[in-house]
Amino acid sequence: LGDRPGSYAIARHVRMSPMKVRRMVDLVRGMDLNEALTTLRFAPQAASEPVYKVVASAAANAENTESLRADDLFISQAFVDEGVTMRRIRPRAKGSASRINKRASHITVVVEPKAAKAVNTKKEA
């Protein structure tokens, strides 16, 4: 993150559609860390599991490399990019075939201390 305190984590090639994962990422973006982890743990969507792991990893990175407390962190950035698409063939009528796209996702989560949240809003104003 350059000179700013905080940390990030990336999960690449997660075998899940980016649209489905974005639903969960949009849900927790901007939340406090503990609130986000609780929300993801009890969410019924299958995409909540890989997002939970990335958020927990980003928190662990912040604690171990930046010596930040988990209680002081919030999710400042979270986004999902498309990964590699595996293409498969499904046989159809009259000898034709249609394509099935098995999509993958890259999940990125950035956590920063809450004090940085207040500083960022002052700079923008």
Per-residue pLDDT of the chain (125 residues; tens, 9 = 90+): 788 899 999 999 999 999 999 999 999 999 999 999 999 999 999 999 999 999 999 999 999 999 999 999 999 999 999 999 999 999 999 999 999 999 999 999 999 998 866 666 666 65
Q: What is the pLDDT of residue 3?
A: 84
Q: What is the pLDDT of residue 48?
A: 96
Contact between 65 and 8 (Cβ < 8 Å): no
In the chain the domains, ranked by start, together with CATH numbers, are 7-124 (3.90.470.10)
Q: What is the pLDDT of residue 115?
A: 81
Output the pTM of the full model.
0.88
Question: How far apart (Å, rounded) are the C-alpha atoms in residues 5 and 86?
Answer: 38
Q: What is the pLDDT of residue 121?
A: 64
DSSP for residue 32: B
Question: How far apart (Å, rounded) are the C-alpha atoms in residues 125 and 122?
Answer: 5
CB atoms within 10 A of CB 57: 17
Question: How far apart (Å, rounded) are the C-alpha atoms in residues 72 and 86?
Answer: 40
